Amino acid sequence: MNGSVPVETTFSWSTFVQKYWDRSPVLFRSPSLSPAPFAAGDVFRAAVHGSRSARLDGHMPSHAQFTLERMQRDVAHDLLPAAEDGSFDGYDSRLATRLDGRRHALVINSFHTFDPALWSRERTFFAGLWDIVGLPLTGAITTLFHGTYEHSPVGVHKDRFATFMFGLRGRKRMRFWSHRPWDEPVSTKVDYADHRSESFAAEIGPGDVLYWPADYYHVGESATTAPATSVNVGVPRHDHHVGYELETLIADIDPDRLTGGSSLDTLLPCHEAPVAAAGPRADGLLSAALPEGLSAPVRTLHAFAQPDRMADRVTTVSLRRWTAGGFEPAPAPVSPPPLADTDLLRADPHAQILWARDSNGSTLCAANGHHTTTPLKNSDMLQLTEALTSTRPVEVAALLEAVSPGLQRGAARTLLQRLESFGAVRRHS
C-alpha cells in the first residue's frame, strides 16, 4: 500500500477545491447533494435513448461499448437497455437470462447528450465547481458504466480527465496507483495482478461520490457479483489542451471523437487531395508549390484567421459555451408544435439566455448550448427576456407586445419557438 482514500461525509465545492482538487482522491460517503446531479429515472431514460439507434439498425452505436467476458460486441442484438425494461433492474434480469450469468460491461459515452433533464441537473450541480476553478473550455464528459464486469474493460490506465464517479446501484471498487506501476512501454494493462500490492482502493455504493485527479492510474472493479451502475464525469486537465480548444474554435467536432485522439487535419475540407509532392522536375528540384492537400488547409486556416471572419465564430462559440455550462454537446433541440398567442411561456430558471451583435448587425442568441440568429435589437431582447423571466408564465401575445411593433413581433415569435426547441423556454398549461 502506498496511499489511501480519505472519506468525507459532507460536501461543499469550496472545501473540495481547497483540499482535494488536482491533489488527491477523496470519497464522499452519502453526501447530501443539492441539486442531486443524477437521478435513477433520468439515468435509465438516457441509457435507453443512447441505445435507440441500435434498435433501428442492430449495430452497436459508436458511442456505446458492450463487452462480454472481455470480448467487445459489434452487433447490439438485444444487449442494450430498452424502454420495455422499465428500469435497470428490469434490464439486469433480462440480461441475466440472456447471458446465462456471464460477466458483461456496458459503457455509454457522451451520456449527458441523451437526456435534457439529466443534462440540466448535471450542469446546475457542476456550476458550483466552475465558479471556483473556471469553465472547462472543451467541456466535461459524461460516461455511463453498468454491468457485472470483473474490472473495467480498458484495464489499468490514466486519463487526461479528473474524474467524479457517482455511484447509483450496486457496489464498485476503484483501485488507484499514484504513479504508473509498470515500466513496460504500454499505456494500459488488463492483467495487473502483479501490481495490486502497490495500489490502494476505495469502495463506492449508491449515493457515494468518488473523485480522483487526472494524475492517478486506476481501474474499476466489481465489489460484488451483482450488477453495479455509476456515472462518471471527466473534467479535462492534461494534454493537448490548446489543440483541442483550437479545434473546437474552428469547427463543431463530432461528439463521438471527444474522448479519443483528434487532430486538425480531419476538420479541414481536403481529405481527398494528394498530400505527396510530385517527384523532382527535369532540373532535379521539387516544385515550389505545395501539394493541394497541404496548401488547401493553409488557405482555409489563413482565411479563418482574418479577424472579421473569425469574430462571428468566436462570438457563437463563446455564447454556446457559456450557456452549455461545461457540458457540450448539449442534448439536441426538439421540435415543439407551433406557438399560439394564448400559449403560456416562461424561461427555464436554470437556462441562461445570452446574446451579442454579429458582424451583419443581427443578434446571435444562445441558450442551453445552442444558438440562433434574430433581427431583434438589444432593447427588444432585453424586454423579451425580462418578460420571460417574470415569476409567472406569460401569454405569447403579451410577450410579443413587449417588443417593437411591426416586423420585430414576427421575429420575436420565431425566436421564442427556437428558444423553446432549445429547452430554454417552457410551455405551461
Give the x/- contact pattern for Fe ion in 143-182, rule: CB under 5 A. Answer: ----------------x-----------------------
Burial state string for 308-327 with b = 16 or more CB within 10 A and e = fewer than 16: eeeebeebbbebbbebbbbb
C-alpha grid cell, residue 175: 483501485
Residue given cell 450496486 in the structure block: 170
Site for Fe ion in 68-97 (CB under 5 A): none
User: Minimum CB separation from Fe ion for residue 230, in Å?
Assistant: 12
- Rounded Cα distance between 124 and 131, Å, is 11
User: Minimum CB separation from Fe ion for residue 3, in Å?
Assistant: 17
Which one, 20 or 422, has the nearer CB to Fe ion? Answer: 20
Q: What is the DSSP letter of 74?
A: S
With CB under 5 A as the rule, give the number of residues binding Fe ion.
Answer: 1
Strand duo 209-212 + 172-177: pairing: unpaired
Which one, 163 or 421, has the nearer CB to Fe ion? Answer: 163
Residues paired with residue 167 on neighbouring β-strands, in sequence order: 230
Which one, 115 or 159, has the nearer CB to Fe ion? Answer: 159
Which one, 45 or 151, has the nearer CB to Fe ion? Answer: 151
In this structure, what are the phi and psi dihedrals at residue 132, rounded to the nearest 5 degrees?
-95, -45
User: Minimum CB separation from Fe ion for residue 221, in Å?
Assistant: 13
C-alpha grid cell, residue 47: 441509457
Which one, 159 or 343, has the nearer CB to Fe ion? Answer: 159
Report the Cα 313 to chain-centroid distance in Å.
21
User: Minimum CB separation from Fe ion for residue 155, in Å?
Assistant: 10
Residue type, 85: D
Which one, 212 or 422, has the nearer CB to Fe ion? Answer: 212
User: Minimum CB separation from Fe ion for residue 404, in Å?
Assistant: 53
Residue nearest to Fe ion (CB): 159
Which one, 90 or 155, has the nearer CB to Fe ion? Answer: 155
Which of 112, 103, 198, 225 minimizes the C-alpha distance to 153? Answer: 103
Strands (E), 254-343: none
C-alpha grid cell, residue 91: 434490464
148 in Cβ contact with 116 (< 8 Å): no
Q: Sheet containing 425-428: which strands, arranged edge to edge?
A: 394-395, 344-347, 425-428
Which one, 92 or 159, has the nearer CB to Fe ion? Answer: 159
- Rounded Cα distance between 20 and 18, Å, is 6
User: Minimum CB separation from Fe ion for residue 104, in Å?
Assistant: 19
**What ranges in 63-169 are assigned the alpha helix state H?**
88-98, 116-133
User: Minimum CB separation from Fe ion for residue 369, in Å?
Assistant: 25
Q: What is the DSSP letter of 248?
A: H
User: Minimum CB separation from Fe ion for residue 416, in Å?
Assistant: 42
Q: Which residues bind Fe ion (CB under 5 A)?
A: 159
